[in-house]
């Protein structure tokens, strides 16, 4: 069947089997391998991406179910050459060791900060409670999210028109 | 790699459309809502539908609202929306208690109330909750709607009264004054299925329990209820003694089995302890001593 969806702001269309999972669609059909494929049982959370602005576990959503909807993956966090503060926070606070859980952690963290810009440690831990870090690096992940909270996203760059008007 | 077996996919635009797709594709077709029960079952080949009918576009079935003194929850309401509903906090905090410990925040973004109830997993928290508050289920078919009590809805493990060409559309719970409710769960780790869970709702009038509901998950309780314990409470004052008698009855009549989550005697002990804790909190809430 043919599915069309918006992924990271771009419309994509592919012919897929109805049984194809969204995680395999973004990785294998679109080559967006930032989203990781882990436990396959909606436990580990490394496959978290956004579907219509909400984090979901993409191993438990069919690509067909995303037809007509909007998907955002970890590849969309970086704006131009500027890392999202969440990404920067993971770098600065050593928020990853092996890095396998990182894309899912970052997508959840970005959503949390968009809805709660100044989360407590308990709120961060609750937000990532559906995601596993088998390096058990949770302490630094929490610190990374706090770093991002304290360093808000840089506002979108002004367009040339706006710059000349000012 | 776990993937579902080959399957056809249809998308319903309305309840009527979903019903006609179910008619057309026959009993081997299945509705899919959040998919967080059905897709894992399909990956394990425990479910082998030939056609999936996606009902995620039926956003008109996603609501928590009051209607004629009833709390109405649409079947497509996501767990997250039940958790965050101010009406739930006000009228049935048992639902908030349970939602806090159902899976995790990401799963709750996607999973639905109706999907969880139709899965009828013997360990399903919401099944115990809606049994405890004595809800009614509204089921639609091509010929109209029928409303049945939860006792009739649950027909056994993974089995409900929803027929092959029917769809659960709503849960309704009567709101009466003096109601308090609470849910208690023991799980091996955060977000897991219950080792044992107990929910209680009490309706207190003039210092007496006018009606009581006790819901149990994961311990083989028929219809997710503890009817002997409920009956023992009606007409009593909401005292520790009455709660002790009821929780002992709940433990006595439960049918837990030993499995990887724990031995049967431990689960039976938990039934008693969690039931009394839920009853204490429900009573405190009924009398306005706890939010």
The Cα of A97 is separated from the nearest Cα of chain B by a number of Å equal to 23
pLDDT (mean) for B186-197: 94
pTM: 0.94
B227 to chain A, any CB pair closer than 8 A? The answer is no
Mutate to test the interface with B, among A2, A62, A138, A145 (most CBs of B within 10 A): A62
pLDDT (mean) for B215-233: 97
pLDDT (mean) for B178-195: 95
pLDDT at B42: 97
Residue B190 pLDDT greater than 70, yes or no? yes
Position A166 confidence tier, pLDDT thresholds 50, 70, 90: very low
Question: Per-domain residue ranges for chain B?
Answer: 8-54, 63-174, 179-286
Q: ∠ at Cα A16 (A15, A18), nearest 5°?
A: 135
Range of the domain at A14: 2-76
Position A155 confidence tier, pLDDT thresholds 50, 70, 90: low
pLDDT in tens, A99-145: 999 999 999 999 999 999 999 999 999 999 999 999 999 999 999 99
Structure tokens at B160: 């409900």
CATH number of B63-174: 3.30.465.10
CATH number of B179-286: 3.30.390.50
pLDDT (mean) for B234-244: 98
pLDDT in tens, B159-185: 999 999 999 999 999 999 999 999 999
Position B287 confidence tier, pLDDT thresholds 50, 70, 90: confident
Number of domains observed in the structure of chain A: 2
Give the β-pairing of B194-205 and B208-217: antiparallel
The Cα of B19 is separated from the nearest Cα of chain A by a number of Å equal to 19
pLDDT in tens, A54-96: 999 999 999 999 999 999 999 999 999 999 999 999 999 999 9
Give the β-pairing of B70-74 and B167-174: antiparallel
Residue A163 lies in a domain: no
Helices (H), A70-127: 85-92, 102-115, 121-127
The domain boundary, picked from A52, A76, A100, lies at A76
Give one DSSP letter per residue of B22-91, joined into a string.
HHHH-TTEEEESS-TTHHHHHHTTS---SEEEE-TT-GGG--EEEETTEEEEETT-BHHHHHT-HHHHHH
**Helix axis angle, A138-150 to A85-92, nearest 10°:** 130
Residue A97: count other Cβ atoms within 10 Å of its Cβ.
Answer: 14
Class for domain B8-54, per CATH?
alpha beta
pLDDT at A154: 55
Put simply, the answer to whether A18 touches B110 (Cβ < 8 Å) is no
């Amino acid at each position: 069947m043919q599915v069309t969806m918006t992924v990271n702001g771009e419309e994509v269309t592919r012919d897929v089997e109805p049984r194809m999972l969204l995680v395999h669609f973004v990785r294998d059909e679109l080559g967006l391998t930032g989203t990781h494929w882990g436990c396959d049982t909606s436990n580990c959370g490394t496959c978290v991406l956004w579907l219509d602005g909400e984090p979901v576990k993409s191993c438990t959503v069919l690509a067909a179910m995303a037809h007509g909807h909007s998907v955002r993956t970890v590849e969309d966090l970086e704006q131009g050459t500027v890392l999202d503060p969440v990404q920067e926070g993971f770098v600065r606070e050593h928020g990853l060791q092996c890095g396998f859980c990182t894309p899912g952690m970052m997508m959840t963290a970005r959503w949390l900060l968009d809805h709660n810009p100044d989360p407590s440690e308990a709120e961060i831990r609750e937000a990532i409670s559906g995601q596993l870090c088998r390096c058990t690096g949770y302490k630094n992940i929490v610190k990374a999210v706090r770093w991002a909270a304290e360093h808000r996203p840089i506002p979108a760059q002004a367009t040339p028109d706006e710059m000349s008007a000012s | 790699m776990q993937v579902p077996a080959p399957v056809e996919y249809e998308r319903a635009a309305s309840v009527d459309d979903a019903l006609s797709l179910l008619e057309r594709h026959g009993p081997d077709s299945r509705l899919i809502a959040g998919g967080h029960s059905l897709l894992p079952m399909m990956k394990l080949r425990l479910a082998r539908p030939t056609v999936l009918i996606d009902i995620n576009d039926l956003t008109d079935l996603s609501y928590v609202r009051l209607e004629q003194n009833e709390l109405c929850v649409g079947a497509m309401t996501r767990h997250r929306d039940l958790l965050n509903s101010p009406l739930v906090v006000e009228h049935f905090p048992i639902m908030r208690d349970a939602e806090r410990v159902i899976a995790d925040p990401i799963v709750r973004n996607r999973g639905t109330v109706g999907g969880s109830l139709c899965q009828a997993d013997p360990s399903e928290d919401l099944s115990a909750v809606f049994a405890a508050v004595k809800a009614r289920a509204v089921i639609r078919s091509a010929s109209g709607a029928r409303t049945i009590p939860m006792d009739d809805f649950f027909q056994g493990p993974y089995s409900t009264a929803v027929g092959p060409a029917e769809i659960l559309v709503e849960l309704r719970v009567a709101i009466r004054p003096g109601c308090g409710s609470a849910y208690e769960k023991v799980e091996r780790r955060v977000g897991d299925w219950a080792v044992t869970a107990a929910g209680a709702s009490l309706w207190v009038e003039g210092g007496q329990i006018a009606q009581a509901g006790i819901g149990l998950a994961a311990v083989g309780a028929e219809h997710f209820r503890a009817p002997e314990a409920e009956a023992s409470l009606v007409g009593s004052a909401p005292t520790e003694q009455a709660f002790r008698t009821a929780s002992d009855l709940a433990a006595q009549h439960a049918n837990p089995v030993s499995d990887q989550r724990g031995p049967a005697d431990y689960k039976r002990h938990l039934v008693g302890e969690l039931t009394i804790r839920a009853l204490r909190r429900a009573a405190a809430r009924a009398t306005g001593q706890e939010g």
